[in-house]
Amino acid sequence: MVSTTTPAPRLRLLDGLRIAAAIGVILYHYTGRYPSQVEDFGWFAHVTTYAAVGVYLFFMISGFVILMTAWGRDLPNYIGSRVGRLFPTYWAAVLIAGLIVFALRPSFPADPAEDLGWDDWALNFTMVHSAFGAENIDGIYWTLYMELKFYVLIALFMLIGITRHRILAFVLIWPVLGALAQQNGGDVLAEILMPHYAPLFAIGMVLYLVHLDGRFRPDTTLALGFNLAFMAYQSNGPYAAFMTRTDDITARGGIIAVILLLGVVMIWAFSCTRLQYVRWGWLTTAGALTYPLYLIHERLGWYVIEVLHRHDWAAWPAMLAAVAVVFLAAYLLYRCVDVPFSGRLRRAVEHQLRSLVPASRDR
Give the model's confidence band at 6: pLDDT under 50 very low, under 70 low, under 90 confident, else very high: low
pLDDT at 357: 58
Give the model's confidence band at 321: pLDDT under 50 very low, under 70 low, under 90 confident, else very high: very high
State the DSSP H helix or E strand holding residue 13, giving kind and residue range, or none if neither: helix 12-27
pLDDT at 110: 65
- Hey, what amino acid is at 161? G
pLDDT at 35: 82
pLDDT at 4: 45
pLDDT at 255: 94
Give the model's confidence band at 363: pLDDT under 50 very low, under 70 low, under 90 confident, else very high: very low
Helix (H, G, I), strand (E, B) or coil at 353: helix
Q: Tell me the pTM.
A: 0.92
Least confidently predicted of 81-95, 236-250, 307-321: 236-250
Helix (H, G, I), strand (E, B) or coil at 246: strand
pLDDT at 7: 54
pLDDT in tens, 221-265: 999 999 999 999 999 888 888 887 766 778 899 999 999 999 999
Q: Across residues 331-341, what is the average pLDDT?
A: 97
Contact 15, 275 (CB under 8 A): no
SS (H, E, C) 91-125: HHHHHHHHHHHHHHCCCCCCCHHHCCCHHHHHHHC
Contact 329, 308 (CB under 8 A): no
Cβ-proximal residues to 360 (8 Å cutoff; 6+ apart), any chain:
3, 74, 75, 158, 159, 161
More confident residue, 249 or 326: 326
pLDDT in tens, 267-307: 999 999 999 999 888 888 888 999 999 999 999 999 999 99
Considering the chain, what is the average pLDDT of its residues? 91
CA distance 182 to 78: 30
Least confidently predicted of 8-12, 230-234, 342-346: 8-12
- Hey, what amino acid is at 132? F
- Percent of the residues in the chain that have a pLDDT greater than 70, as a whole number: 93
Give the model's confidence band at 361: pLDDT under 50 very low, under 70 low, under 90 confident, else very high: very low
pLDDT in tens, 165-177: 999 999 999 999 9
In the predicted model, is pLDDT for residue 51 greater than 70? Answer: yes
In 3D space, the residue among 308, 251, 263, 334 whose CA is nearest the CA of residue 28 turns out to be 251
In 3D space, the residue among 67, 27, 14 whose CA is nearest the CA of residue 323 turns out to be 27
pLDDT in tens, 102-125: 998 888 776 666 778 899 999 999
